[in-house]
């Protein structure tokens, strides 16, 4: 009887894990981008994630990939002076 219960619990855990997703809060609109241009002080805009761009460097950072996956790298740009910078956001579990 107890064994049966444990099996059910295990089944439940598996289903629960499947519904948890690791997402970037900025990509999903959960966190507003609040950064200001260091050159002119204008609010910077989110240019979107640059994962693909970084992907082209993967041969050089193969060993660090596991750690990098916990972050989503975004390109922030200033609409005024076109200064741009890359910023990493920590992925969250939803
Ligand atoms: Zn993102
Ligand atoms: Zn600027």
Confidence of residue 16 (pLDDT cuts 50, 70, 90): low
Dist. CA 16 → ligand 1 center (Å): 24
What pLDDT sits at residue 70? 84
Dist. CA 43 → ligand 2 center (Å): 8
**What is the mean predicted confidence (pLDDT) over 69-88?**
93
Dist. CA 49 → ligand 2 center (Å): 20
Average pLDDT of the chain is: 78
Dist. CA 47 → ligand 2 center (Å): 14
Dist. CA 49 → ligand 1 center (Å): 5
Residue span of the structural domain in which 16 resides: 2-93
Check: pTM over 0.75? Answer yes or no: no
Number of domains into which the chain is organized:
1
Is residue 60 within 8 A of residue 27, CB to CB? The reply is no
Beta-bridge partners for 88: 73
């Amino acid at each position: 009887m107890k064994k049966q219960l444990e099996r059910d619990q295990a089944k439940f855990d598996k289903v629960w894990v499947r519904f948890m997703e690791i997402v970037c809060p900025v990509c999903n609109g959960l966190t507003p981008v609040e950064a200001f241009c260091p050159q002119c002080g204008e609010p910077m805009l989110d240019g979107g994630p640059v994962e693909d761009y970084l992907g082209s460097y993967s041969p050089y950072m193969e060993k660090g990939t596991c750690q990098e996956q916990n972050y989503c790298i975004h390109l922030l740009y200033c609409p005024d002076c076109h200064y741009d910078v890359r910023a990493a956001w920590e992925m969250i579990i939803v």
